[in-house]
Amino acid sequence: AQSVTQLDSQVPVFEEAPVELRCNYSSSVSVYLFWYVQYPNQGLQLLLKYLSGSTLVKGINGFEAEFNKSQTSFHLRKPSVHISDTAEYFCAVSDRSSASKIIFGSGTRLSIRP
C-alpha cells in the first residue's frame, strides 16, 4: 500500500518569492510520482511527473520537483511565484506495476500575497 504526506496544509508567500511545497511518500513497491494543481472550482491539472531517469523534473508554469529516493520525498519548487499560482497543490503516487489508482495527499493551499 502507498501513502502520501503533505507536511504543510497552507503556505503563504509573497509574490515573486521562491516557494517549496513538501511531500513525502511511503510505499513497499516502486511508484510513479506526480504533482497536480487544482484552481478554485476546477478539476485537477497535472503539473509534472516522475517516471524514471533524472531526479529533477520540470513541469508547466515554471514548477520543478526533485525525487529523493533515500528520503522518500518529492518536493515541489518554484523560484518566483505569481498571483496566478494561488491554488491547491496535490502530491500523488501510483504503483508502477499496475499504474491504475492514484493515491493523493491531503493538499497544500498556496496563497500568494502581493
Residues that bind other proteins (CB under 8 A): 4, 32, 36, 42-46, 49, 51, 90, 92, 94, 96, 98-107
Q: Which amino acid is at 66?
A: E
Give whichever of 49 and 77 is closer to other proteins, judged by the CB atom: 49
Q: How far is the CB of 102 from other proteins (least distance, A)?
A: 6
Q: How far is the CB of 69 from other proteins (least distance, A)?
A: 18
Give whichever of 51 and 60 is closer to other proteins, judged by the CB atom: 51
Measured CA to CA, the distance from residue 58 to residue 39 in angstroms comes to 20
Give whichever of 15 and 86 is closer to other proteins, judged by the CB atom: 86
In order of 29, 60, 78, 89, 92, the CA distances from 47 in angstroms are 23, 6, 12, 9, 11
Specify the pairing of strand 10-14 against strand 108-113: parallel
Specify the pairing of strand 87-95 against strand 64-68: unpaired
Q: How far is the CB of 101 from other proteins (least distance, A)?
A: 4
Q: How far is the CB of 107 from other proteins (least distance, A)?
A: 5
